[in-house]
Amino acid sequence: MVPDENKYLYDKELEEYVRKAKEFIENNPNINEQDTKTVLVDPLIEILGWDKFKNEVKTEYPIQMGGGSHRVDYALKLEGVPAVLMEVKQLGKDLKQYARQAISYGRVEDVKWVTLTNGEEIEIYNTEKGKNRDYCLLTSIKIDDYLEEKDTLAELLSKKAISEGRIDELDKKIRKKRRAIRDLKNSKNELENELFEIIKDKVNDSLHDKIGESVPKLVEDLIERVEGKKEPEDKRAEEPKIDEEKGIKIKSKKYDIDESKPFVKETFEYITNEMKKYNSDIIINPQKHYVSLRDGKNFAIIQIRKTQLNLIPKLPLEKGKNIVNKNEIDELSESVQEFYNSPCFRIKLKEFDEQKLDEVVETLKAAHEYYL
């Protein structure tokens, strides 16, 4: 494989890799660390332009630390010198607990860039920022976002981009934006007061109470958009919708429900219909990577797969366990719950079973009441 001279990775190969990797993960959720490397990490390294036949990829790279000998899973080398160290953990492992270890490898070896992955997610650290994960973390990219974030992924980890120093440029941009968002949050109250004063002078006092209620929401919305947690209206308008007359047609970059097993669509229709009966204000909101259930705010996420349906109610696991007895329930990592900005867990549906679905509907109702 030879990448386009103007590109940093193999685009077509990345698309095929993501498709196969996600299918593999779905069917093999309990693979060990070695299989995680072989199946999920080795191909990605190659797609990013690193050639193991040219001695650019060193596996089991030895490190002397604390009087003992350690080995990092991969050293990606430029001109024989490690430019990136990559530590791999078993699929499904929470990366947070291994961050300090990975960062320490880079600091001992004087390698600025270190990555940590479990096959589903990659975290990238700048070890010059210290020992703390939060300070060192440059960014984290999940496999669900590899295609959408492929330019970022390439600029951070491809051989060509690393050799050109693109990762250093991106590091500066990301950290500058992060500081700006932090400053924006810190001045939130001040912004609310100033905005209220500006608007209230334009209208009579009968609207002041309404303006006072709305301004905090406007500022919060602004912060969410700047952070990237909420897409602009024009982008959301491009998302696929549900045609009530023609039925459900959900197609996007990530999934096509018509390509899933028939029970997946039947299950989706049952759940969404029951929730609409429960509360007609609930919106079934298809996005690029999932479908959300909304009533002013998202209170549950539906992930459509070829062979199953995953539900993520925004409800603490302890409350979920009081309701869910018939269905398979998974605890989610802290990082995933932080991503959804709420305590949550996952229910896997692998067949159409009305009794199990009724239990799911009750769980979603509880999430609606809890989160809203």
Where in the chain are the domains? 11-171, 175-235, 240-371
Tell me the backbone φ, ψ of residue 92, rounded to 5 degrees: 95, -15
**285 in helix, strand or coil?**
strand
**pLDDT attached to residue 2:** 46
Cα distances (Å, whole numbers) of residue 57 to 54, 104, 123: 8, 20, 19
**pLDDT attached to residue 255:** 47
Domain 240-371 has CATH 3.50.50.60: no
Mean pLDDT computed over 120-135: 94
Average pLDDT, the chain: 85
Mean pLDDT computed over 59-83: 93
**pLDDT attached to residue 231:** 52
Among residues 203, 228, 230, the alpha carbon closest in space to that of 215 is found at 203
What are the pLDDT digits (tens) for 309-330? Answer: 899 999 999 999 999 999 988 8
Percentage helix, strand, coil, to 5, in the chain?
A: 50, 20, 30
What are the pLDDT digits (tens) for 146-201? Answer: 988 888 888 889 999 999 998 998 899 888 988 888 888 888 888 888 888 888 88
Q: Which residues pair with 330 in a beta bridge?
A: 346
Highest-pLDDT range among 52-61, 192-201, 215-224: 52-61
> Which amino acid is present at 93?
K
Element (H, E) at 188: helix 188-200
- In this predicted structure, the answer to whether residue 256 has a pLDDT above a threshold of 70 is no
**pLDDT attached to residue 47:** 93
Report, at the CATH architecture level, how domain 11-171 is classified.
Alpha-Beta Complex (3.90)
Sheet holding 68-78, edge to edge: 57-65, 68-78, 81-88, 113-117, 121-126, 137-142
Cα dihedral sign, 23-28-30-31 = negative
User: For the whole model, what pTM was predicted?
Assistant: 0.59
Mean pLDDT computed over 72-87: 96
Half-sphere exposure in the Cβ direction for 262 (13 Å, CA): 0
